[in-house]
Amino acid sequence: MSRNALKMVTIGGGSSYTPELIEGYIKRQDQLPIKEIWLVDIPEGEKKLNIVGNMAKRMVKAAGLDWEVHLTLDRREALKDADFVSTQFRVGLLEARVKDERIPGSYGLLGQETNGAGGIFKAFRTVPIILDIVKDMKELCPDAWLINFTNPSGMITEAIQQYGKWDKVIGLCNVPVMAMMNEPATIGKELKDLTYKFAGIDHFHWHRVWDNSGKEVTMDIINKMYDGSETGLPKNIFDVKFFREQLNQMKMIPCGYHRYYYRQTEMLNHSLEEFDQNKTRAQEVMRIEHELFTLYQDPNLDHKPKQLAERGGAHYSDAACEAIASIYGDKKTHMVVSTLNRGALPDLPSDHTVEVSSIITASGALPLTFGHFQPAERGWIQLMKNMELVIDEAAVTGDYGLALQAFIMNPLIPSGQAAKDLLDEMLVANKKYLPQFADKIKELEGQGVTVHDQVAATIDEHIGQI
């Protein structure tokens, strides 16, 4: 590592989140001797890259720093001798998200970015690209750290480790961050006075909490969840309460995404209501992004606007900066990250990725042991982790049987002919981004599988708004 002149690379640099990342670096200027920041994007994102890149330059300048900010479409130039590479790209842009939401919705199913059919396809589209990036990194910056916050973050991190054979990676998620930001106040505490233990996989984890007298306060926080306290639910998740009797038995705090599994019917109904009103989360994101990019174009704006916090992914980029600073500075900070299990969760294989409380050192994440789950949570997490493995293997091999197995396993997709039809339609709809499934897609098209007219129309309509 070039210890006094760090080269930071962000792939998907044209993202609306980039100002949070830049702000995160600026906040940590004493910890990170940055020399260059490279923001990389693809041709389709060039316009956004320029807007947000210039904004980044203004932010750096306003902070009185001499960091170079480079904007480029040449990923390999950027990766050359990089120290830290962060990934926050979205394959297929928001158009793909529209499809992930609208097509399942047209089947009466949940349309969501990281759960259900949408989450599976986001993995199918993203895994080949991230493995390509890893291939470049092996050649161009073999000592760099990869900080992934591209969703579905857990599956992407798993693919990087299992198929990319790249160990210097940390997968991030803002869900634990938000829980730790909001929960302490509900019980009159500060975060520094609590010990958090998270365990599970990305977007499917639980946590327990102890105070600084050694007393477990998990149930105290759970109780606060029922009296209206803000406990850090991500912005993009509809708020239905967990059944209290369930949490009383569980004695752990589920993450916000557990709502899709523990209150499946209500979450589905809410999703379908939005579908029927022709609303989608993608649309909302487009609206916010439009607003943000309008702001970013203001040549006088040189700090992160408060509106950015409304995006569901708030704090992701700050978490990334903190992970980078912890690695670089060997800070031994407690963070919740996706990393190799190594026994921390003995109910899951030790050589696969989990999301777990870890100490972040210069040599990476050291997970804290969590111990065994009770049977109910053990059953859930074993199902979900194995489903991740099936999805990743399908994403790498393009094996249709595995893709079908993933759909059938997914608790949010009732198995049967409709599920198979949905799979087929989504394969065809995502054709451009699924080279690994090319043969199967050709076969499906030959059988007349196509994106249904009505869906296609609303997709076009949504995309037109971008």
C-alpha to C-alpha distance for 282 and 288, rounded to whole angstroms? 10
Concerning whether 163 is annotated as a catalytic residue, the answer is no
102 annotated to bind ligand: no
C-alpha to C-alpha distance for 196 and 177, rounded to whole angstroms? 11
CA separation, residue 367 to residues 90, 143, 144, 354 (Å): 28, 22, 21, 9
189 vs 279, which CB is nearer to a second copy? Answer: 189
CA separation, residue 462 to residues 48, 97, 283, 457 (Å): 19, 10, 7, 9
C-alpha to C-alpha distance for 172 and 355, rounded to whole angstroms? 9
254 vs 313, which CB is nearer to a second copy? Answer: 254
Stretch that binds a second copy, among 255-263, 279-287, 293-301, 425-433 (CB under 8 A): 255-263
Stretch that binds a second copy, among 10-18, 111-119, 156-164, 238-246 (CB under 8 A): 238-246
CA separation, residue 298 to residues 64, 83, 295, 365 (Å): 19, 31, 5, 39
Residue whose C-alpha is closest to residue 243's, from 221, 225, 270, 269: 225
Q: Does 315 bind a second copy (CB under 8 A)?
A: no
Q: Does 197 bind a second copy (CB under 8 A)?
A: yes
Angle, to 10 degrees, between the axis of helix 93-106 and the axis of helix 116-140? Answer: 150
58 vs 352, which CB is nearer to a second copy? Answer: 352
Chain residues 266-295 in contact with a second copy, contact rule CB under 8 A? 266-268
Stretch that binds a second copy, among 26-34, 96-104, 119-127, 239-247 (CB under 8 A): 239-247
Structure tokens at 368: 């804290």
| Shortest CB 409 distance to a second copy, Å | 6
Interaction pattern, residues 384-423, with a second copy; x per rule: CB under 8 A: xxxx-xx--x-----xxxx-xxx-xx-x--xxxxxxx---
115 annotated to bind ligand: no
Instruction: Report whether 22 contacts 59 (CB < 8 A).
Output: yes
Instruction: Report whether 304 contacts 20 (CB < 8 A).
Output: yes
| Shortest CB 366 distance to a second copy, Å | 5
The single residue among 54, 72, 182, 195 that binds a second copy, judged by CB under 8 A, is: 195
Residue whose C-alpha is closest to residue 109's, from 260, 256, 259: 260
Q: Does 362 bind a second copy (CB under 8 A)?
A: yes
Stretch that binds a second copy, among 18-26, 87-95, 150-158, 214-222 (CB under 8 A): 214-222
316 vs 370, which CB is nearer to a second copy? Answer: 370
Chain residues 420-459 in contact with a second copy, contact rule CB under 8 A? 420
C-alpha to C-alpha distance for 425 and 277, rounded to whole angstroms? 22
324 vs 459, which CB is nearer to a second copy? Answer: 324
Residue whose C-alpha is closest to residue 463's, from 110, 117, 114, 102: 102
203 annotated to bind ligand: yes
Catalytic residue among 17, 107, 196, 257: 257
CA angle 397, 401, 402 (to 5 degrees): 55
212 annotated to bind ligand: no
Which residues define the annotated binding site?
97, 151, 173, 203
Which residues define the annotated binding site for Mn(2+)?
173, 203
Which residues define the annotated binding site for substrate?
97, 151
Active site residues: 257
